[in-house]
Copies of this chain bind each other. A is one copy, B any other.
């Protein structure tokens, strides 16, 4: 890395660290009198949640769509990210004229609890003036959703027209529908499931161990120590990134192609493009994400098991639900394979809920939901249009 690159990297990291308490987003702050109760039995107070909105809330507050982000996403879903300067992570899905059309819908996206972009997380300053680190209680998907519900309340919105998300965002969608069935008219859950599988827990555990093995992690106190467990977090990201792609897409994109060389060098440098690509993924990630947040948010995913509280019967979770569900999976997604979506669909059917399910043919793996795959845009647009008609929304006749 050149001196210029290193300086840019440092500048970006400083910028990102500043987001934890003072994000470049609207923030809803809840004082000591409005604690956030957690599934662990603990509570956080004061606390805050950072969010972005797009479009306009209509007069009867009936056009709000909450978008839930995935593990390393954030609230900057459809506008430039203030840390990386890159476009929002779902601009193909959300914006004027897009499937989630901001000329019609009022879109809200909040940084998750435990994140590092302005919602209370391990990088935030706690009530004693110290950075939380591992003193923050361990969090769940249920806690994230409870925090979002308090934000939605504070915004004066009783019922969300829809909750939409992929991967961990899809977990939040299902949690919303389970915890607040009367506040969710429609739910779109993509590339996700109602629980985290053994294999997925395993990959997360590898990532956490990689972070905690880095001596610069300092038992979670690296922000106080002025260090950063970059090497460990980069390894964690590299391992995770493989799981976001399919074997086919790696083969198609990289195969065994060499990186800027004509032949093997017989060394441990990145001879292959796939190695160079993964190293780049690891290195850029550490500048935009907090290592402890990675621990907390992966843990929340691992803990997710919607049926556990109902003796493993997922259908009981949705019994009597009037929410309209749209479940989407992708053929080559091996992190959340179609079987996980199908289990949700079976439970919804058993519960008598309204559900449409599509498995989309894609060779691009788990990350398909973030990519330019036209079929998913048609599906989300069509589902929302149909739901809008069913809800009798004013603009629905125009489609």
Contact = CB atoms under 8 A, between A and B. Distances in A.
Contacts of A202: 238, 242, 250, 274-275, 278
B275 A40 contact: no
A39 B263 CA distance: 12
Given A138-B267, A239-B206, A239-B239, A197 B303 contact: no
B303 A250 contact: no
A199 B231 contact: no
Interface stretch (A8-16, A151-159, A207-215, A313-321): A207-215
A338 to B, nearest CB: 12
A171 to B, nearest CB: 14
B213 A264 contact: no
A233 B240 CA distance: 18
Interface string A169-212: 00000000000000000000000000111110111011011101
Interface string A105-129: 0000000000000000000000000
A205 B202 CA distance: 18
Interface stretch (A44-52, A57-65, A69-77, A251-259): A251-259
Contact of A205 (B42, B138, B266, B275): B275
A157 B206 CA distance: 45
Nearest to A257: B198
Contacts of A251: 197-199
Interface string A365-381: 00000000000000000
Taking residues whose C-beta sits less than 8 angstroms from the other chain, chain A's interface range is 35 or more
Contacts of A247: 197-199, 334, 337
Nearest to A264: B303
A104 interface: no
Contacts of A274: 198, 201-202, 205
A287 interface: no
Interface in A211-251: 212-215, 231-232, 234-235, 238-239, 242, 247, 250-251
30 contacts: A137-B266, A138-B266, A195-B256, A198-B247, A198-B250, A198-B253, A199-B250, A201-B272, A201-B275, A202-B238, A202-B250, A202-B275, A202-B278, A203-B239, A203-B242, A205-B274, A205-B279, A206-B242, A206-B278, A208-B268, A209-B234, A209-B235, A209-B238, A210-B210, A210-B235, A212-B268, A215-B215, A239-B239, A247-B334, A256-B308
**Closest 9 CB pairs between A and B?**
A213-B231, A40-B266, A138-B266, A198-B250, A199-B247, A205-B275, A198-B254, A206-B238, A206-B239
